[in-house]
Amino acid sequence: MNPYLITEPTCISFSGGRTSAYMLYKVLEAHNMSLPEDTIVFFTNTGKEEEATLQFVNECSSRWNCPIVWLEYRDNESQFEVVSFETASRNGEPFETLIRKKNYLPNPIARFCTVELKILTAERYLKSIGWTEWTNMVGIRADEPVRVAKIRANPSDGRKGVYRVMPLAQENVTKFDVKEFWDAQPFDLNLPNINGTTYHGNCDLCFLKNPNQLVSLISEKPERAIWWAKMESIIDQPRIRDGEVFRKDRPNYSSMLQFTQEQVSMFDLNEGMTCFCGD
């Protein structure tokens, strides 16, 4: 069976990256370039994505005539808000709201940012429109074995009525297949594609990224570090616990910004951690 065929209520997670966009295209292709009934495509915006990501989501929607629901976390009764390309947050507002509510920062052990800003925000929206059970299609490739194994071991992720599927992994799609696809398209995500990997993707300076990547991204555009340093500085406010940082095993964002200005090499090159926000 074509893994992109949809036969039951399905939500498609579109992270705003090339991989999930490729998956969306394959779904549309399997249904004569139209979105099947009982199918919702959603993009959950944290406010820390690059502008190029927002533009790419909007362009995929318009070029492929595919409706995409834009969602953001809110600290209100519904805990989400439907937004658009024009009204989407661009200065980390949903993320900061969550941090202030939680009273501490996410870290490699407590990665509540992905759960609250993306997974649960989408789930709350679906339940608000009456969905009780659905398949969640996620863009994880065959060359991401750790992520594939984790989802196959726990397809529901502990959420009642939810079953996650990975059509790209099932089809043995790799990052090179995705790159080949976008090389042949009339448009693309306007972020560097380095051997099939988009280091600028997802949250611009996610604390799970390789530290050398962070230093490089800050060197390229120093203002990227301002929001992250600010989040680590609001410990002065009474609701934030003293001494909180995103990671205790490396310098904070303010220090990384300072080091980039001084052009000091801080880290050895190694792999970053998987955040499960998608690509």
What mean pLDDT comes out for the span 115-142? 97
User: Helices (H) and strands (E) in the chain — how many of each?
Assistant: 11, 6
Mean pLDDT of the chain: 92
**pLDDT of 242 above 70:** no
In 3D, which of 9, 274, 234, 217 has the Cα closest to residue 99? 234
* Residue 269 binned pLDDT confidence (cut-offs 50, 70, 90): very low
Q: Are strands 69-73 and 80-83 parallel, antiparallel or unpaired?
A: antiparallel
215 and 172 within one domain: no
**pLDDT of 273 above 80:** no
CATH code for the domain of 173:
3.40.50.620
What mean pLDDT comes out for the span 194-204? 89
| Predicted pLDDT at 194 | 87
* Residue 279 binned pLDDT confidence (cut-offs 50, 70, 90): low
The pTM assigned to this predicted structure is 0.91
136 and 257 within one domain: no
151 and 15 within one domain: yes
Q: Residues, the chain, total?
A: 279
Kindly state whether residue 275 falls inside one of the protein's structural domains. Answer: no
| Predicted pLDDT at 272 | 52
What is the layout of strands, in order, in the sheet containing 69-73?
80-83, 69-73, 39-44, 10-13, 134-137, 162-165
224 and 133 within one domain: no
Matching residue, tokens 């300072």: 258
What mean pLDDT comes out for the span 253-267? 79
Matching residue, tokens 């996650």: 164
Kindly state whether residue 270 falls inside one of the protein's structural domains. Answer: no
123 and 86 within one domain: yes
Higher pLDDT, 46 or 262: 46
225 and 176 within one domain: no
165 and 71 within one domain: yes
| Among candidate residues 167, 183, 199, the one where a domain is terminated | 183
Q: How many CB atoms lie within 10 A of CB 150?
A: 14
- Tokens matching residue 234: 């609001």
| Predicted pLDDT at 275 | 61
Kindly state whether residue 194 falls inside one of the protein's structural domains. Answer: no
The boundaries of the domain holding residue 233 are 211-262
Kindly state whether residue 188 falls inside one of the protein's structural domains. Answer: no
What mean pLDDT comes out for the span 69-92? 98
52 and 105 within one domain: yes
| Predicted pLDDT at 206 | 96
| Predicted pLDDT at 235 | 64
132 and 251 within one domain: no
Q: For the chain, how many structural domains are there in total?
A: 2
User: What would the pLDDT profile of 221-241 be if each residue is shown by its tens digit?
Assistant: 999 999 999 999 886 555 555
Kindly state whether residue 253 falls inside one of the protein's structural domains. Answer: yes
What mean pLDDT comes out for the span 178-185? 96
111 and 40 within one domain: yes
Rounded CA separation 103/234 (Å):
10
Contact 60, 33 (CB under 8 A): no
240 and 112 within one domain: no
Phi, psi of 175 (to 5 degrees): -65, -25
Q: How far apart are the first and last CA of the chain?
A: 25
Kindly state whether residue 5 falls inside one of the protein's structural domains. Answer: no
**pLDDT of 274 above 70:** no
Strand partners, 164: 136
225 and 162 within one domain: no
- Tokens matching residue 222: 């120093």
DSSP string, 75-103: SSSSSEEEE-TTT---SSHHHHHHHHHHT
